[in-house]
A = this chain, B = another copy of it.
């Protein structure tokens, strides 16, 4: 048991954010590239797809296969999008942290 719907892991959070950001371009390799460039997070493609599968299993994302493109090797992509539940958990996650930051005494920030 204990498939906790109230919180998400660290990589899960970053990937949900990138899915919202990338929209129709949210598929494995593109997510991995942005994880590296925008989040300074260097992970292998296996790590990305593992997390993507977990998120879908939890109901935080859905996915569908696009058609193949005309560029060389351009086979169909599995494109992910975030669900309402995913949005909710992602926003709650950020809210908690923003609130905690506000409660840190000034003097501790230096």
Contact = CB atoms under 8 A, between A and B. Distances in A.
Contact of A101 (B17, B39, B109): B17
> How big is the A interface, by class?
20 to 34
Number of copies: 2
B104 A39 contact: no
Main secondary structure of the interface of A (DSSP, over half): helix
A21 B96 contact: no
Contact of A9 (B10, B41, B99, B100): B10
Interface of A: 6-10, 13-14, 17-18, 20-21, 23, 38-41, 92, 94, 96-97, 99-101, 103-105, 108-109
22 contacts: A7-B10, A8-B10, A9-B10, A10-B13, A14-B96, A14-B97, A14-B100, A17-B97, A17-B100, A20-B104, A21-B103, A21-B104, A21-B108, A23-B105, A23-B108, A38-B96, A38-B103, A39-B96, A39-B100, A40-B92, A40-B96, A97-B97
